[in-house]
Each structure stands twice: as C-alpha cells, then as structure tokens.
Structure 1
Amino acid sequence: MKTKAKTKAAFRRRQRGSVSIFVAVSLIALLGILGLAVDSGFGYMIKARLDAATDGAVIAAGEAVTRGNNQTEQTNNAQQAATAFFAANYPAGFLGSSVSAGTPSIVFNAGTVTIGMTAQASVPVTFSKVLGFNVLNVSSSSQAIRKTLDMVFVIDNTKSLNTSGVPAAVRSNAVAFLNNFDVTNDRVALMHFAYGTVVDVPFKGNTRGFDRATMTTDINKYTFDGSTNSPEALWNARNQLNTVITQPSSLRVIVFFSDGAPNSFSSFFTTNQSKCNNISTTLASGDGPSGSASGLFSINALSQKLASPCYQNDTSGFVTAMPKWYNAHNVNEQTFPIWPVTSPRVVSNGNATYVNVNRVSRNLLEAMAAAARAEGTYVFTLGYGNELTKPAGPDNELGQDVLKCMANTADSLSRCYNPKQPVGVYCYAATPADLKPCFSQLASQILRISK
C-alpha cells in the first residue's frame, strides 16, 4: 500500500511539472504573439507615415520641377522641394524610428518628367524580442509622372481694362502665371486680343519648351484699347494647337482671360465699296444696350481701323451682308454658322445690325470653345470686373455665363454643360487684387491634372 501511495504522489508531481512547463511555453508564445501584434502596429503606423511623406515629396517635386531655366536648375529645385517636404512630414525620431531617404530621381524623357523617391525606416522592437527579432524595418517607394503640356495663354487687352491699377495687375500676374510651367518641356503659346488678335509667341512646331523671357517682355509692353473680338482669339488658340503642333501632348489647355462678353467678330463682309469686300476684317457692335455696328478693323492688330472708305463709325448701309458661315481665315470655310441659326441665340438674317453682330459673336465663341473641348482640350477661363455680373447686350446676358460655358463648368448654363467633354475651371476676379489668387488657382488646377 505504501508503495502504491508513493507511486501516485510521484506521478502527481511529474504531472504538475509538465503543466508548469506547458504554461511557461504557452506564456512565451503568447508574449511573442502579443509582441508581434504590438510591434506590427507600430510598423504599420511608421509605414503609413513613410508612404505619405514620400508621396507628398514627389508631388512637391513635380510642382518645383517647372522652376529653372534648364534641366540642371529644374532637377536641383525638384530635389530640394522633395527633400524639404519629406523632412517636414516625417519628423525625426517618429515613434522611435530612424529614417533614411534616398536622393529623388528626376528623369526627363520626350517632355515627360518622371520623379521617384525611396525611403527606409527602422525601429527597435520591444515584445518581439522573445521571438528573436531586434529591429523592425519598413520601406516606401513613390513615383509621380508629369504629363506633357501644350497650352495657349490668351489675354484680353480691350479698352475696358484700361482703368486705374488694372493694366499693371494684369501684366504682373500674367507673368507670374507663366512661372508655374516648365520652360524646357511644356509648350506654351501667347497671344492678346481686342478688335483683332496678335500672336505674340507661337508654338515652335513640335519642339519642346517655350520662351518665357520673350513672353515676359511682350506682356510688359501690353497696351489696352479696342473692343472684344473673343472668337478671333479662340480661333487662333485652336489653330495653334491643331496645326502648328502635329504631335500633341497628353494634356492640351487654353487659358482665356477677359473682362467681358464678346461683341465683335471677323469674316469677309460684303460692303457697298468693292475695294473693302475681298479682305477679312472685324465688325464691332459696341457695349451699349442698343445702337449700331462699327468697322471695319484689322483682324491681326489690337485696335486698327482700316483706311477710308473701309472704316465707318456706323456701318448701317455700308456692310450690306454678313456671310452665312464664319470665314475669316478661309473664305470657303463652313464650320461655324453665322446665320440663319436658332440656338443658342437667334440670328435670322445677314443684316449687320447691333443685335445680330452681338449675338453672332457670342454664338461663335461658345461654338469654338465646344469644338476645342470635343478635341480633348481643357478650356480654363478667368473673368475680371463687375461688368461680368451685370445684364448686358441685346439679350441682357451675364458675361460670366459665357465664360462659364466656354470652360464647361458644372455650374454653367444647362444648355452648355457637357459632362462628356473636359470640364475646366472659371475663376472670377472682382478687383485687381483678386487676379493673383485666380491665376494661382488656374495654375494649380492645370498642374493637378498634368500629374
């Protein structure tokens, strides 16, 4: 009996020892699992912060790469911007980690700029040490590709802008706007308009880059005089994009600045003077609530009256007929109808009256903008001054509605908005001080869609 009791007691001691070993092993495993969960959580937070920092850094580099007069300067600016952004958004010692970031890579290739950046972070583990781990390493890699850009910059130089402080604000902010774009890869054309359109700096064919210095000089020489022949300006913008460039970029943009709705247009007009009939000229309707048309003006100068007898203050009886189609650059062109049309504004005959000239100019502008968008071009518009918010013209329209229709904004008139076409941006500047944020907004939007 004693022997059996001793055997049972020994068995129970061995059993208790086995349970203790099992519990100890289980505790180690549980601690390891707990440590892995805790340390993995830290690693996830570090990885998320690292990803955000590198993503933001390449975006910042994409914006900074436009600054500089050559690729060396642009590369330095982009790398500095990326490094600064990364340092500001991944604080030293974040969650006890140490981090190292590689030098951002900037690759220029046929107009496209590819920006890449990698970074690594390591953090000492705590609980996971029981599983043999001492350091947790995480890494991140980000890339941004900046699309090629073809942009036409169109600036209104009409007389209504020639008021205190406005010309200087237009010049300075237009120059600053150009500083947002890449002089070695982006293609930019510049033009200004009033009665006619002057192409200051055309595209250089398919050659990449643009001459910002010459454009700055031209803008600073701008004077402001004449009436608003917006259709002629937009025709020239489309012509630059569609014929001067034969290998278009992945992003095409027209930026159109104006302080009013159009009231003039160009074509071959029939007059009672034979010597005035075989030239393309501009007919203007003025800005008043009623009246008569005036003309004829040159189509390739800011404000240039033709020599007598081809200029009349009142063209009643002088211009005997408007053409049925817009034909300012090709007498046989039949793309944009002038009359008869019933939409969006009725023009039932070819009489060169104030009402007809005003309606034709607005119809043509909206039609040309729609044609540009149908070709995949974004149209961005910037409107200046309170005249845009007041009813004007024979149909008491708001000038800003025309600019919104051009841009195809979601808040434009229902007859204009087409969600199947590129949706642009309209920005309204009520005062000269508002021009700077408006130009900045347009630049930011263009750079955003170029990524």
Structure 2
Amino acid sequence: MKTRAAHKRQKGSVSIIVAVSLIALLGIIGLAVDSGFGYMIKARLDAATDGAVIAAGEAVTRGNNQTQQTANAQQAATAFFAANYPTGFLGSSVTAGTPSIVFNAGTVTIGMTAQASVPVTFMQTLGFRVLNVSASSQAIRKTLDLAFVIDTTGSLNTSGVPAAVRSNAVAFLNNFDVTNDRVALMHFAFGTVVDVPFNGNTRGFDRATMTADINNYAFSGNTNSAEAIWNARNQLNTVITQPSSLRVIVFFSDGAPNSFSSFFPTNQSACNNNKAGTIASGDATNGFLSGLDSIGAQSQQFASPCYKSGQRASSDASTLVTALPKWYNAHNFNEQIFPIWPVTAPRAVPNGNVTYVNVNRVSRNLLEAMAAQARIDGTYVFTLGYGLTLAQPAGPDNEIGEEVLKCMANTPDSLPRCYNPAQPVGVYCYAATPNDLKPCFSQLASQILRISK
C-alpha cells in the first residue's frame, strides 16, 4: 500500500514539473517569436528613419532662407518616413518625432527619432503585453564649393539646344542650398567669362542673378576648354581661402577643345607680351588657325596693334604668331606649371611651330592636365557631354571627344592612361539629344548630393 501511495505522489510531482516546464517552454517560444517580430519592426523603423534624414538632406537645399529650408526638409522627411513605414506594419503603432534641422557654420545636421509598439502574443505568459522598439538616425550634409562651367560655343547654336541648355542649367542650380553652399558660375567659348564669382569665404550664392545670366547666354565661338578649367580652379583655390569639405567642378561641353590661351610672340612688336590671347585650330583636319581673341570674353577679337578692326575673320593666326610659348602663361607671363612643348604625352608636341596639329594637341593636353591638377587638389570633376559629334572621331588624331571628358572626370571607364583610383572619381554623363540634358543634369546633382552626406 505504501508503494502505491509513493507512486501516486511521484506521478503528481511529474505533472507539476511538466506543467511548469510547459509554461517555461511557451515563454521561450514566445520570446523567440515575439522578439522576431520586434527585430523585423526595428529593421523597418531604422530603414525608414535613415531614408527620411537622407531625403531631408536633399530637400534642405530648397528655399530662399533657413525657415523655408527647414520646412521643406521636415516635410520631405515626414513624407519619406510615412511611405516606408506603412500604417499598422505587423500590427504595430508608430510615433515619429519632428525631424530636427540644425544649421551650423555651413553644415546642416538632420536628426529623426521614431518609436513603435506592437502587442505580444506568447510573451503574455511572462506578463508582457506590449513590445516597444525605437530608432534614431542622423545625417550631416557637408559644406560644398561648386564651380559650374557652361560651354556657350557656336556649335551649340542649333534648333532647340540653347533653350534646353539654359532651362536645365537653371534647374541644376535649384538643387543646391542658397544659404550654405557656395557656387561660382562661368561660361566659355574663345575665352571665359566668370558671371558670378565666389563671394570670398561668405557662404551661400546668388541664384537669382545666376538664373538671369544663364537665360541671357548667347552661343558663338570656338572651344577653349582649358581656360574655363583654369578659371574654375582659380575660383576654388584663390577666391576661397577657407575651403569647404567638398569641392566640385561641373563642366558642360559639346566638343573636345580646339583652342588655348597664352602670351604669344608675334611679328607685331607692339603686340608682343602686351596681353594674352586665344588661338583656335577649328575641328577640321588641317583646319584654319584663327586668333587672337580675348581670354576674358566669349568671343572678342583683338583690335590694333594685333589686328585692325574686322581683320581677324580673314586672317590666318599663323601669319601673326611666330611660335608657341613653352608654358601655359595666360595669367602670369612667368608661370611654369603646365608645359606646352616639347612634350611626348599624352599627345606629342615636339616643337613650337604654329600648326593646326600642334595647336589642337596643346588644347587637349592642357585641358587634361588642368583637370588632373584639380583632382590632385582634392576636387571632384563631373562632366556632361552633349551631342553626336562627341561620339565621332575628330581632330588630327581622330580622337573621340567624350574620351577627353571621361579623362577629366577620372571615371573607371576612361582611357587606361587617365584613370587614377587614388584621386577623386567623378561622373561623366552623355546627352545625345536636348531631351537627354534633363536626366544628365539630374544625375550629376544627385551624385553631388550623395557624396555631400
């Protein structure tokens, strides 16, 4: 009888142990299941707040003052968060905080927090009713110095193109912060005109004046790209003495360079070393050499003593210029940074003879050398090429024009002699038609904003 009673007591003990174990097991299973839901909600919450502050970083550039910019950034962040964290996701309820926008010495810091609560199922056995998760994200938009260079040569003066260039260049500027970003605007043909320079170290830029300047652009003259890049570097390196954390040159052109500037020795003694000018080779093989033109104007021929009024159009520059200088010295007669001749690479210029081949090769060599120096300075170079001629062989060496633009930008698909992964790697976009300009300008703006975060 005692044995039976003991057996009953053992059976009762086992039942209690099993019951307790089941409760513990259910708690463990509940913890695993409900925690899994919590991790899924946490991941979605993190992604939504991360994306929201990035969207705010792009939207903060819109507006004419910090009040408008703050409102635009907060609106963009809220809309992005709502789109990426659906109402009732996995049964949760969410509360998103108002995004914080802090302006400080040109840098914009954007922050956002959010909390989500989800009812638990299995974990109720352990006394829990709700699982709470939270997320916080922050984005810091770097300060930006941007030199915007626009080709206004005569080859762009075809039906519909000037209007497309003007409208899309204006739209491009709308991507940047008028109170914190610094932008300089210039256009070029035979020479370069700096329409709106940097205002020293003062932050912000005058978008209204730039818009008016762009809308007044005329299109004429040859392609002196090197002079444009020289002015862009000069604005970034000289006008600004306290550079931003991100520096960019955006260079738009429809052709490979065929002109360059310097102090040229001439057979007119009164003209020698008087002022620098531009000599142009044209695009046709063995083309006509024209010049000299002003380096500070889109298209303005020299007057006496170099030429009499109206004479340049019918005169070959090789009858005036006696030799090419050994160094590019358009802004400083004694400057010796960029050699003109003799050079062997990337295009051989063995002597200073004033020939179509030499002038054309020098034009291309200088452009690539100046762009490379900009990258050595730590500046990103972004290029936008327009038109079918860029994809066709031209010049004395039958080069493809867009290869020069790729070399300038240091893109991975540029010529092997050009690509240097140790330098800032830029972007090249090709627009075959006027309709392609909008997505290209948008791509460049997006890439700049991406690397500014």
The aligned residue for residue 383 of structure 1 is: 385
2: CA distance between counterparts of 1:417 and 1:84? 40
The aligned residue for residue 421 of structure 1 is: 423
How many pairs align? 446
Equivalent residue for 1:368, pick from 341, 357, 370: 370
- 2:212 alignment partner AA: T
How do residues 15-164 of structure 1 correspond to structure 2 at under 5 angstroms? 15-164=10-159
- What SS class does the counterpart of residue 270 from structure 2 fall into? helix
1:433 aligns with 2:435: yes
Equivalent residue for 1:301, pick from 297, 302, 322: 297
Deviations 1:222-280 (A, max 9, x none): 00000000000000000000000001011000000000000000100000111221211
Deviations 1:56-111 (A, max 9, x none): 10010001000000000000000000000101111111111110000000011111
Equivalent residue for 2:406, pick from 404, 415, 418: 404
- What SS class does the counterpart of residue 252 from structure 1 fall into? strand
2: CA distance between counterparts of 1:355 and 1:249? 40
- What SS class does the counterpart of residue 446 from structure 2 fall into? helix
How do residues 302-321 of structure 1 correspond to structure 2 at under 5 angstroms? 302-308=298-304, 310-311=306-307, 312=312, 313-321=315-323
Residue 292 of structure 1 contacts residue 316 of structure 1 at CA under 8 Å; is this kept in 2? no
1: CA distance between counterparts of 2:288 and 2:159? 29
2: CA distance between counterparts of 1:121 and 1:316? 77
Q: Tell me how far 1:309 sits from its aligned partner.
A: 5.0
- 2:297 alignment partner AA: A
Equivalent residue for 1:242, pick from 214, 226, 237: 237
Deviations 1:136-159 (A, max 9, x none): 000000001111100000000000
Q: Tell me how far 1:437 sits from its aligned partner.
A: 0.3
Q: Tell me how far 1:317 sits from its aligned partner.
A: 2.8
Equivalent residue for 2:288, pick from 273, 292, 303: 292
2: CA distance between counterparts of 1:237 and 1:131? 68
The aligned residue for residue 264 of structure 1 is: 259
Equivalent residue for 2:177, pick from 178, 182, 187: 182
- 1:270 alignment partner AA: P
Residue 153 of structure 1 contacts residue 190 of structure 1 at CA under 8 Å; is this kept in 2? yes
Q: Tell me how far 1:315 sits from its aligned partner.
A: 1.6
2: CA distance between counterparts of 1:157 and 1:85? 39
- 1:227 alignment partner AA: N
1: CA distance between counterparts of 2:70 and 2:323? 58
In structure 2, stretches of 5+ residues that fail to align are none
2: CA distance between counterparts of 1:173 and 1:276? 41
2: CA distance between counterparts of 1:211 and 1:128? 60
Give the TM-score, by structure 1 length.
0.98
The aligned residue for residue 442 of structure 1 is: 444
- 1:196 alignment partner AA: G
1: CA distance between counterparts of 2:50 and 2:441? 26
1: CA distance between counterparts of 2:318 and 2:9? 121
- 1:175 alignment partner AA: V
- 1:410 alignment partner AA: P
2: CA distance between counterparts of 1:293 and 1:54? 60
1: CA distance between counterparts of 2:271 and 2:402? 35
- What SS class does the counterpart of residue 320 from structure 1 fall into? coil
- What SS class does the counterpart of residue 317 from structure 2 fall into? coil
- What SS class does the counterpart of residue 15 from structure 1 fall into? helix
Q: Tell me how far 1:349 sits from its aligned partner.
A: 1.1
2: CA distance between counterparts of 1:363 and 1:387? 20
Equivalent residue for 1:208, pick from 194, 200, 203: 203
2: CA distance between counterparts of 1:353 and 1:301? 24
- 2:451 alignment partner AA: I
Q: How large is the Cα RMSD of the aligned pairs? A: 0.7
2: CA distance between counterparts of 1:338 and 1:221? 35
- What SS class does the counterpart of residue 84 from structure 1 fall into? helix
2: CA distance between counterparts of 1:317 and 1:170? 37
1: CA distance between counterparts of 2:200 and 2:44? 45
2: CA distance between counterparts of 1:218 and 1:291? 33
Q: Tell me how far 1:217 sits from its aligned partner.
A: 0.3
- 2:275 alignment partner AA: I
Q: Tell me how far 1:378 sits from its aligned partner.
A: 0.3
Percent identity between matched residues is 83
- 1:127 alignment partner AA: F
- What SS class does the counterpart of residue 276 from structure 1 fall into? coil
Residue 326 of structure 1 contacts residue 333 of structure 1 at CA under 8 Å; is this kept in 2? yes
- What SS class does the counterpart of residue 54 from structure 1 fall into? helix
1: CA distance between counterparts of 2:319 and 2:82? 73
- 1:384 alignment partner AA: Y
Q: Tell me how far 1:220 sits from its aligned partner.
A: 0.2
2: CA distance between counterparts of 1:276 and 1:449? 48
Give the TM-score, by structure 2 length.
0.98
- What SS class does the counterpart of residue 271 from structure 1 fall into? coil
2: CA distance between counterparts of 1:91 and 1:400? 45
1:195 aligns with 2:190: yes
1: CA distance between counterparts of 2:151 and 2:103? 34
What stretches of structure 1 move > 2 A for 4+ residues in a row? none
Larger radius of gyration: 1
Deviates more, 1:60-69 or 1:287-296: 287-296
2: CA distance between counterparts of 1:93 and 1:260? 55
- What SS class does the counterpart of residue 442 from structure 2 fall into? helix
Q: Tell me how far 1:308 sits from its aligned partner.
A: 4.0
